Amino acid sequence: MPPRRLALTADLIARAHPAPVADDAGGMALLDEAETDARLDAALAAGPGDPGVLWLFAYGSLMWRPDFAFAERRTATVRGWHRRFCLWQRRFRGTPERPGVMLALDRGGQCRGIAYRLAGDDLRAVVRPVWRREMRGRGYAARWLVAAAPEGAVPALAFVADRAGPRYAGRLPDAQIAERIALACGHLGPSAEYLLNTVAACEALGIRDRHLWAMQALVAERLGAGP
């Protein structure tokens, strides 16, 4: 299916957030390096199948900025989880005063994304940077899920919402999510930019996600309305 025309645009976002935002290191508590590495080792040890093969399931920013070497990628579906904006973001693309909302996999339904087969002789070293990127912020838990694709099903490591963690926002109303995304901006840029990049990546792959599509329309409407 050809990509649809998005209501949300880079120009709308740039007009709403013209000035850079300084980093606030106190905005989000991070795991220390030792605990981050210990959790990585535990996750890899629990992985099913061949320890010399590692698949990673992407559904958000890893679709358009993987930041790791991969040998293969497949459009794949995981069942029992769906893509949703359900994690508070008080740093990076938000602030404590104006927190954004980030995507995670939450329970129920299904999600189409990308399964990456990582490349390299030392798979731990390959996955460690993206593990740090996703896990240090205390918003995600690691789960091994079955990623089903026409080429076959594979066990894939995925980052799902940590429902017991302090960043879990639950099932917020769509209007509240859109308001938060429209207003939030951190030192990495606006939350709306993250949304735009993700929905555009999905559209390019022929992935029609109703939650993302509704959010981009609502955020575009909110940004168009001004401050």
Choose, from 134, 179, 193, 221, the residue flagged as catalytic. Answer: 134
Cβ atoms of 71 and 115 closer than 8 Å: no
Catalogue the E-assigned strands of the chain: 55-58, 70-89, 100-118, 140-149, 152-161, 185-186, 189-190
Q: What is the distance of C-alpha 196 from the center of its chain?
A: 12
Q: Helix-strand-coil percent breakdown of the chain, rounded to 5?
A: 35, 30, 35
Give me the phi and psi of 22, to 5 degrees please: -70, 150
d(CA 168, CA 171): 9
Q: Is 134 a catalytic residue?
A: yes
**Direct distance between the N- and C-terminal alpha carbons of the chain, in angstroms, rounded to an integer:** 36
Active site residues: 134
